[in-house]
């Protein structure tokens, strides 16, 4: 569960309040995971995690807002200075749509990585994540890439059989059950949790050395992230946002960025409704 990345929790400003809430959660339980998520997203300046080219993503880099450059090769989900998370979601949705209608070979063709046909599932998933996070750098790329990989792995639920054919069949079965919205929900749930936990894990470990308390808090934060993402995706599903979209086109990117923007607003608002 979560990202293998680690970094010091930022200091000063709004982060003082975040640390106070973490301490309150661990000591008295009077603070909810929703409040901590809300305060963390607010202190970080949003969901995007912008780091400079070639950087390793230090504390200040994690606080910057904005997207990275577009991908190269194959079709990409728009270009310019949009939200990097929205672009990744749009690209993943485009991949899933092509997979559902024409199989894994067509989906790989849509991304311009058709050389992956008949390769092992792990290699295919890694390259898809690399492609959809191409043009980003440092922690921004690492966290997005990791969330994309985990979302595809969770959707496929590969159990022992890591062949290309099983990956195709498993993903098609998932899409038949859950739709494109299910794949986007898996991705955004993983990304939001990784985004939040990356920023607070260091301080959580400083406040307690009780492994059980740390694990319980991690689980609670993850569940709260998933609940918020589910509610936002359901809102857009009810509005018909996932129907008949060209996810690689401008309209598809606009919808994906609207979902991410709505999710960010939802997460920020949670702290005010407790």
Residue-wise pLDDT for 46-80, tens only, equals: 988 654 333 333 333 333 322 223 333 455 444 33
Average confidence (pLDDT) over 231-239: 96
Q: Looking at residue 54, what DSSP letter applies?
A: T
Domain count of the chain?
A: 1
Q: 8-41 burial, b for 16+ CB within 10 Å, e for fewer?
A: ebbeeeebeebbebbbebbeeeebbbbbbbbbbb
Q: Is residue 268 part of a domain?
A: yes
Q: Is residue 4 part of a domain?
A: no
- Residue 5 belongs to a domain: no
- pLDDT at position 67 is 28
In a domain, 60, yes or no: yes
Q: How far apart are CA 138 and CA 81, in angstroms?
A: 17
Q: Which residues contact 210 (CB under 8 A, 6 or more apart)?
A: none
pLDDT at 159: 81
Domain-embedded: residue 264: yes
Residue 48 pLDDT: 82
Is 26 a residue whose pLDDT tops 80?
Answer: yes
Domain that holds residue 259: 14-67+80-272
Whole-Å CA distances, 145 to 3, 24, 131: 11, 33, 9
- Assess if residue 194 is contained within a domain: yes
Cβ proximity of 242 and 180 under 8 Å: yes
pLDDT score, position 174: 97
CA distances from 241 to 77, 234, 244 (A): 16, 10, 8
Count of Cβ atoms closer than 10 Å to residue 80 Cβ? 9
Picking from 191, 165, 193, 179, the residue whose alpha carbon sits closest to that of residue 103 is 165
> Does residue 243 sit within a domain?
yes
Alpha helices in the chain (DSSP H): 14-27, 33-44, 59-63, 84-111, 121-132, 138-156, 164-207, 211-238, 250-269
Residue 7 lies in a domain: no
**Once rounded to an integer, what is the mean pLDDT over residues 162-188?**
97
CB 98 within 8 A of CB 112: no
Task: Report residue 274 as tokens.
Answer: 């407790």
83-87, 193-197, 205-209: range with lowest mean pLDDT: 83-87
Neighbours of 169 (CB within 10 A): 15
In this predicted model, what pLDDT tens digit does every residue of 100-143 receive, in sequence order? 999 999 999 999 999 999 999 999 999 999 999 998 988 889 99
Sign for the pseudo-dihedral over CA of 32, 25, 61, 226:
negative
């Amino acid at each position: 569960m979560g990202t293998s990345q680690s970094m010091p929790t930022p200091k000063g400003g709004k982060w003082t309040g975040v640390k106070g809430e973490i301490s309150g959660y661990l000591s008295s339980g009077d603070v909810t995971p929703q409040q901590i998520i809300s305060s963390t997203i607010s202190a970080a300046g949003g969901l995007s995690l912008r780091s400079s080219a070639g950087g390793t993503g230090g504390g200040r880099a994690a606080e910057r807002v904005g997207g990275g450059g577009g991908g190269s090769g194959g079709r990409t989900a728009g270009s310019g200075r949009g939200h990097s998370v929205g672009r990744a979601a749009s690209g993943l949705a485009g991949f899933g749509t092509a997979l559902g209608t024409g199989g894994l070979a067509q989906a790989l063709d849509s991304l311009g990585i058709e050389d992956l046909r008949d390769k092992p599932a792990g290699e295919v998933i890694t390259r898809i994540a690399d492609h959809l996070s191409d043009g980003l750098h440092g922690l921004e790329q690492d966290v997005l890439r990791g969330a994309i990989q985990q979302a595809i792995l969770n959707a496929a639920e590969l159990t022992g059989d890591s062949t290309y054919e099983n990956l195709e069949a498993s993903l098609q079965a998932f899409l038949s059950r859950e739709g494109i919205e299910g794949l986007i929900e898996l991705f955004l749930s993983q990304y939001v949790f990784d985004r939040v936990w990356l920023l607070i894990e260091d301080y959580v470990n400083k406040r307690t050395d009780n492994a059980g308390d740390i694990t319980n808090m991690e689980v609670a934060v993850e569940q709260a992230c998933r609940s918020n993402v589910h509610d936002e995706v359901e809102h857009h599903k009810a509005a018909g946002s996932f129907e008949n979209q060209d996810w690689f086109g401008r309209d598809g990117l606009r919808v994906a960025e609207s979902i991410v923007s709505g999710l960010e607003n939802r997460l920020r608002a949670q702290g005010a409704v407790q």
